[in-house]
Amino acid sequence: MRSSLLARFSWTALCAALTACAPPTPEQNAITAIYKTMTPHYAQWREASAAFSVTSNNFCHDKNTLAEARNSWQQAMLAWTGVQAFPAGPINDKNYATQVTYWPDPKNLVAFQIEARLKNDTPIALAESSVALRGLTAAEYILFDQSHDLTQTATRQRYCPLLLAIGIYQTNFSSSTEKEWLEFSKKIAKFPNDRFANAQEVVTEFLRVQVTMLDGLGKHLQEPLKSGHAQIYQLEYWRSGQTQAGLHAAIKMDEALWHNGWRALAAAKDEDLVTSIDQTYTALLGNIAPVSLQPLSVSITTTEGLAWIRNRQSELHMLDTLYGRALAKTLGVQIGFNANDGD
Amino acid sequence: MTAISSPTINRRRFLQLSLQLSGSISTLLLFPALPGCTFFKHPTLLSARNDVDNKHWCVSYSLDGTEHFRTEVPQRCHDVLQHPSLPLALFVARRPGTHCYLIDTRNGNLLQTLTARNNRHFYGHGIFDHDGTLYLTENDTTEPGRGVLGIYHWRDNLLQFSDEISTHGIEPHQFVWLPDNAGFAIANGGIRTEAGSRTALDETIESSLVFMKKNGELISKETLSNGNSIRHIASAADGTIVTAQQFSANNNGAATLLAIKKPGGMLEPFPVDTETEIQLQAYSASVAIHSANRWLAVTAPRGNRLLLWHLDSGKPLLDVAVQDCAGITSTADGFIVSSGEGGCRSVQQQAGLISVTPLPLPAGGWDNHLILTT
């Protein structure tokens, strides 16, 4: 009896000391699931960035073909898209996205700044250069733009120093950002801390980030049509023809976060909402499958292409609304109350 | 108009005012607290709040989380004004709202809904003078954007319109006292909107910082070179004024988040590095000054950040993530900050370090401003 009481006392004392003894709440489970879903993508991004750097170096030394260099760029871009789809933590806090992609670029600053920089014969220090020169958008210009021919040796010699600098910069940047993401785990595991008071604040932060990204994906399709006529260069990744591939990768990531994290939270409160979001993802991903379409940078000028964009915008808007209004309300969250509707 | 004197209320004046009032407000005064007494034993937070069903509330909490009242109102409010001597607070509707709600802060009872006059709406801000005279920033919608200060006196137990004076600018928002209550420093946002609308009429921004006397006489008018919209304002005990701006897409990407006007000096940009301004999307919600510490604080809900600088040196002191942070007010030892998404925070200096601590208050829906009653 005494030993039983002692054991119970010890267990109680231990539980008091370690909050981990308490069973995790549904919110904590969702947070953990979302974090664990994202973490491997940071590693993939780091690895793909390093591989891109190596392939670029090989290409510049005639050991890899242009097609191989382009393919390596595409892998890095898709890996980054997976990370960018949920930029909670360091990427959002420090506005890191501009270090990797430069979009929108209505004045074609990427091309302008690269050409201006290459006229200057001094060594390239990207950390001190414009963000337009540092990322995958600049590398895309070098590898894909029709204004120059990289199969020519002289052209390669002109662009390779910058391409190699971008590869190294992206390798280091993806590596340091992954470390910051791993550090961020401390902020979402134990409360209160200097960032979050409790798990509900993390849920709010994560949901806002996801809603903002869904809204952003819609804008990626809207931006090229804003002036009333199609502006191809306002599409992201228009030079490589990878607009749909990027969009598809982002929404796939988004769907993974839904299935692994948000879905269980929502299912406990609103089964109909779960069904609606499931169906919207199925329709959207089915319609956006990249292999069956010609590049958007080509089809955007056609009636069919425009209709395709309008339909995807509509599906993205539906998803955005389901998250930002219905799911937010179900979870008792207000998103961007002052940021979006302040005064 | 007649110049309004602003004597500090004394016991005799207070009793006169009490006797003048009848009905609900005089009921409030059956057991009045006399000048010098404190209506709140501890600092109490007053703010407008929204809930997830988009209902609008006037709320009061102690900082330990105790709710004092939560009164539902029809229109979304913005700033809160504490009456200088009575247990009353006025919650002011934001643009293009037409209501102000006079609340008994002891129980949350709605005592009066002050409705804007024809062709006027409120801009979410006001000031009570020491004698209870009320000034509210308003839009003259017959000439959209023309800023006026509506002046309201107590008559027949109610706040009633007496007069109006120009703010010498477009779209007046927050305003503060000049030293010695000699007049007002007014943030004219500079964007024209029509009655019932929050959408800019055109792309021009004629924002200005105006110093004016209480009788309406213009003392000075200054503008920012990049045309950003000056919305909010704070003053230090020495008369230093800081304005907080909101970026508008109409101003070609130029942005100055904060500007400072030292006593006798000109309005000039307060140094904020470009990267920070981009990160904050050049949008601020509220600004506050801690006079004793010489701290300047700004909330940036689009950047989800709270930032502090030294008011005089411009040295950055704090830059922390606070979701959708908006309301901020100074306390004895720092600031209280509210959030539209998350919980409220206390900012204090401890052992030489500035720390940010969560407060046990309900999370989310806190509107752009808050006050701490004394």
The pLDDT value given to residue B143: 92
CA distance B324 to chain A (A): 6
Q: What is the 3-state secondary structure (H, E, C) of chain B?
A: CCCCCCCCCCHHHHHHHHHHCCHHHHHHCCCCCCECECCCCCCEEEEEEECCCCCEEEEEEECCCCEEEEEEECCCEEEEEECCCCCEEEEEECCCCCEEEEEECCCCCEEEEEECCCCEEEEEEEEECCCCCEEEEEEECCCCCEEEEEEEEEECCEEEEEEEEEEEEECEEEEEECHHHCEEEEEECCCCCCCCCCCCCCCCCCCEEEEEECCCCEEEEECCCCCCEEEEEEECCCCCEEEEEECCHHHCCCCCCEEEECCCCCEEECCCCHHHHHHCCCECCCEEEECCCCEEEEEECCCCEEEEEECCCCCEEEEEECCCEEEEEECCCEEEEEECCCCCEEEEEECCEEEEEECCCCCCCEEEEEEEEC
What residues in B contact A335, CB-CB < 8 Å?
341
**Any CB–CB contact under 8 A between B363 and chain A?**
yes
Q: Does any CB of chain A come closer than 8 Å to the CB of residue B354? A: no
Verify whether the Cβ–Cβ distance B341 to A337 is below 8 Å: yes
Cis-peptide, bond into residue B96, ω within 30° of zero: yes
CA distance A275 to chain B (A): 22
User: Which of these, B307, B342, B310, lies nearest to B324 by C-alpha position?
Assistant: B342
- Contact residues, chain B, for A201 at CB < 8 Å: 323, 341-343, 363
Q: What percent of chain A has pLDDT over 70?
A: 93
Task: Measure in Å the smallest separation between the Cα of A127 and chain B Cα atoms.
Answer: 14
- The answer to whether A128 faces chain B, any CB pair under 8 Å, is no
Q: Report whether pLDDT(A134) > 70.
A: yes
**CB–CB contact A338 B94 (8 Å):** no
Residue B347, φ and ψ in degrees, nearest 5: -115, 120
Q: Which residues of B touch A343 (CB under 8 A)?
A: 78, 94-95, 123-124, 173, 198, 231, 368
Q: Are A343 and B95 an interchain contact pair (Cβ–Cβ within 8 Å)? A: yes
pLDDT at A310 over 60: yes
Does A183 have pLDDT greater than 60?
A: yes
Do B50 and A334 count as a contact with CB atoms less than 8 A apart?
yes
In the predicted structure, residue A203 carries a pLDDT above the cut 90: yes
Place of tokens 């007002």: B184
Closest CA to B325 of B308, B337, B307, B316: B337
pLDDT for residue B248: 65
* Per-residue pLDDT tens digits for A313-323: 999 999 999 99
Q: Are residues A95 and B278 in contact, defined by beta-carbon separation less than 8 angstroms?
A: yes
The reply to whether A94 touches chain B by the CB within 8 Å rule is: yes
Query: With an 8 Å Cβ cutoff, are A338 and B285 in contact?
Result: yes
The pair of structure tokens assigned to B129 is 């003078």
pLDDT for A2-12, tens place per residue?
A: 444 444 444 34
- Looking at residue B355, its pLDDT comes to 93
Nearest CA in chain A to B301: A339
Q: Check whether A68 has a pLDDT greater than 50.
A: yes
Q: Quote the radius of gyration of chain A (alpha carbons, Å).
A: 23
Cα-based angle A27, A251, A92 (whole degrees, multiple of 5):
60
Is A216 near chain B, with CB under 8 Å?
A: no
Residues of B in contact with A192 (CB under 8 A): 357-358
pLDDT at A215: 94
Please give the Cα distance from A280 to B93 (Å, whole number). Answer: 38
Residues 82-111 of B with CB under 8 A from A: 94-95
Confidence (pLDDT) at B198: 87
The pLDDT > 90 percentage for chain A reads 75
pLDDT tens across A73-116, in order?
A: 999 999 999 999 999 999 998 889 999 999 989 889 999 999 99
Give the distance from residue B24's alpha carbon to the nearest chain A alpha carbon, in angstroms.
32
Is the Cβ of A93 closer than 8 Å to some Cβ of chain B?
Answer: yes
pLDDT, position A141:
98
Instruction: Test B323 with A205 for CB contact under 8 angstroms.
Output: yes
**A-B contacts at Cβ under 8 angstroms:** 95
Candidates A328, A339, A343; nearest CB to B94: A343
CB contact under 8 A, B341 and A195: no
The stretches in chain B having pLDDT less than 70 are 1-41, 227, 248-254
Interatomic CA distance for residues A65 and A238, integer angstroms:
21
* Complex confidence, ipTM: 0.87
- Does B273 touch chain A if contact means CB atoms closer than 8 Å? no
Task: Read off the pLDDT of residues A252-307 as tens digits, 9 standing for 90 and up.
Answer: 999 999 999 999 999 999 999 999 999 999 999 999 875 556 788 888 888 888 88
pLDDT digits (tens, 9 = 90+) for A161-179: 999 999 999 999 999 999 9
pLDDT, position A122? 78
Q: Quick one: pLDDT at residue A314?
A: 94
Minimum-distance CB partner of A336 among B53, B198, B324 = B324
Whether residue A334 is predicted with pLDDT greater than 50 in this model: the reply is yes
Q: Round the CA-based radius of gyration of chain B to a whole number and report it.
A: 20
- Nearest-angstrom CA–CA distance, A257 and B185: 50
